[in-house]
Every structure is written in structure tokens, then in C-alpha cells.
Structure 1
Amino acid sequence: MEQITFTLSATRQLSGKALAGVVGSGDMEVLFVAGAGQQLTVNLTTSVDNSGTRWRALFDRLSAFSGLPAGEMTIHDFGATPGVARIRIEQVFEEAADA
């Protein structure tokens, strides 16, 4: 297991918190808690060693597409593919936006 932490620039504000996926079911889990400020902190636990570059690229794409919200995100990836990862991350952002 590898632990990765990113601190990224945030360009938007959301409120509330959200959860998508459940690790115990063999799915990727993403927890998001909105925060004040201009940073998104991502704490990631992954079963895929040396995947920091892949995760950084995913967050760069998300940032370019719609901007990242301020807050804290915890991810347990369970070896998820980038496509599944993006879906789960976008789900928590959408849910928190509706909170």
C-alpha cells in the first residue's frame, strides 16, 4: 500500500460533504469535505505502487475541465482504473455542490 498526498489549487467553493463508492464492496471510495480557502488536499491510499504520476495527471485534467473545489478529499482506490477514479471524484463534487 502506498500513501500519497497532494495539495492542489482550488478555484471554486462547495459546501457540505459527500461519499461515493465503498471499499468493502471492491469499489473505490472517495470522501470529500468542503473547506474554505484556495486548496484541495488529497490523501490517497492506493494498492498500486508508484502511481503518483497517474493520479497527478488525473487531477490536472479535472482541474482543467471544471476547476477543483476547496476542501479535503480522502481516497481509497482499491486499484481502480483512471476512468472509475474520475467518475467517483466527480460524483462527490456533484453531491457536495447539491448539499
Structure 2
Amino acid sequence: MEKLLFEFAGGMPLAARNQPVISGVLGSGNLEVLIEPADLGGACQIEVETAAVGFGRIWEAVLGDVFERWKIGNIRMSINDAGATPAVVALRLDQALKIYSGRGGAGER
């Protein structure tokens, strides 16, 4: 297992919803993400726990792309990965952020 920590600055807090959200499932080729509010001075902090060791640069690139799309701040994400591809990572994070922001559709928790 590898634990990675990333932080992106300059985001804006999402005011629509301020409750933790869990999205995805922890299973082979997938991941689960928890998003919760945190007073981080506008930063977005992401902790990844993954069985796929040695992919830190790929995680950083995918998470950077997600941050560029969302520009979110004052949230902490915890990701439990079971070998998800970059496309699945981006999809699950977008799904969780839609729910967290109140823009989620069917299946919203």
C-alpha cells in the first residue's frame, strides 16, 4: 500500500452543501472517495491510499486536472483506490463533487 498526499491552493469553497459525501465502491479497478468540508484556507487536500505503488506522478496529473475543472477549496478528499485507471479516477471524483456541490443527479446520497 502507498499513501500519497496532495494539496491544491486557490480554490473557492462550495456553499451549496456542507456535508460529507461518499461516492464509488472499493472493488477491483474502482475506487471510493470521501469528500468533507475542512478549514484549509481555500486549499483542497487529497489523501490517496492505493495498492498500485509508484504512480504518484500520474495521480498528481489526474488530480490536477480535476482541480482545474472544479477550482474547489476548503475540502478534504480521502481516496481508497483498488487499481482504478485515470479515467475512472476522474469520473468518480467528478461524480462525488457533483453530489457534494448539490449538482448531483440520480443516485444522489
Q: Distance in 2 between matches of 1:97 and 1:9?
A: 18
Identity %, equivalent residues: 24
Deviation track 1:22-59 (CA, whole Å, cap 9, x = no partner) reads: 21x43310000023431111111011111110011012
1:90 is paired with a residue of what secondary structure?
Answer: helix
Which one of the candidate residues 87, 92, 97 is aligned to 1:88? 92
Deviation at 1:7, TM superposition (A): 1.6
Which one of the candidate residues 20, 23, 32 is aligned to 1:20? 23
Aligned length: 98
1:48 aligns with 2:29: no
Letter in 2 for 1:6: F
Q: 27-36 or 70-79, which moves further after superposition? A: 27-36
What is the TM-score when the length of structure 1 is the normalising length?
0.87
Root-mean-square deviation (CA), in Å? 1.7
Q: Distance in 1 between matches of 2:69 and 2:42?
A: 17
Where do 5+ consecutive residues of structure 2 fail to align? 104-109
Letter in 2 for 1:79: G
